[in-house]
Amino acid sequence: MNFDIVPFLEKHFKKDEKIILACSTWADSMFLLYHLLKTDYKPNIVACYLNHNTREQCKVEEEFLEELWKKEGFQVEIADCDFEKIQKLYPSKWFEELAREKRYQFFDAVCNIYNVDKVLTAHHLDDRIETSMFNMLRWSKLTGLINMQESSGWILRPLLWVEKVEIYKYLDDNKLGYFEDESNKDNNYTRNYLRNKVLPLFEKVHPEHKKNLKNLLSYFEEIRQHLDDEVQEFLWDWDAFSIPMFLMFSPLLQKEIIRSIYYKSNWNSTIGLSEWNIAEVIKFINWKNNKTKKEIKWMNLFKDWNVIRHNAT
H helix or E strand, kind and range, residue 270: none
C-alpha to C-alpha distance for 173 and 91, rounded to whole angstroms: 43
The number of domains in the chain is: 2
Domain that holds residue 255: 235-310
Judge whether 143 lies within some domain: yes
**194, 257: one domain:** no
Q: Please indicate whether residue 82 or residue 295 has the higher confidence score (pLDDT).
A: 295
Judge whether 35 lies within some domain: yes
Tell me the average pLDDT across 243-265: 94
Does residue 294 have a pLDDT over 90?
yes
Q: Please indicate whether residue 80 or residue 146 has the higher confidence score (pLDDT).
A: 80
Tell me the average pLDDT across 232-249: 91
pLDDT in tens, 115-162: 999 999 999 999 999 888 888 887 777 777 777 889 988 999 999 999
Judge whether 217 lies within some domain: no
Judge whether 228 lies within some domain: no
Model-level pTM? 0.81
Judge whether 222 lies within some domain: no
Judge whether 41 lies within some domain: yes
Judge whether 211 lies within some domain: no
Sheet with 299-304, edge to edge strand ranges: 240-242, 307-310, 299-304, 293-296
**172, 292: one domain:** no
* Strands in 71-135 per DSSP E: 75-80, 119-120
- Please tell me whether residue 11 adopts helix, strand or coil conformation: helix
C-alpha to C-alpha distance for 46 and 78, rounded to whole angstroms: 10
| CATH number, domain containing residue 254 | 3.30.465.60
Instruction: Work out the percent of the chain whose per-residue pLDDT is above 70.
Output: 99
| Confidence bin at 1 (pLDDT 50/70/90) | low
**193, 250: one domain:** no
**247, 125: one domain:** no
Judge whether 54 lies within some domain: yes
pLDDT in tens, 11-58: 999 888 999 999 999 999 999 999 999 999 999 999 999 988 777 888
| CATH number, domain containing residue 159 | 3.40.50.620
Does residue 313 have a pLDDT over 60?
no
Picking from 58, 96, 98, 291, the residue whose alpha carbon sits closest to that of residue 192 is 96
**138, 267: one domain:** no
Q: Are the C-beta atoms of 102 and 86 separated by less than 8 Å?
A: yes
H helix or E strand, kind and range, residue 282: helix 275-286
**154, 275: one domain:** no
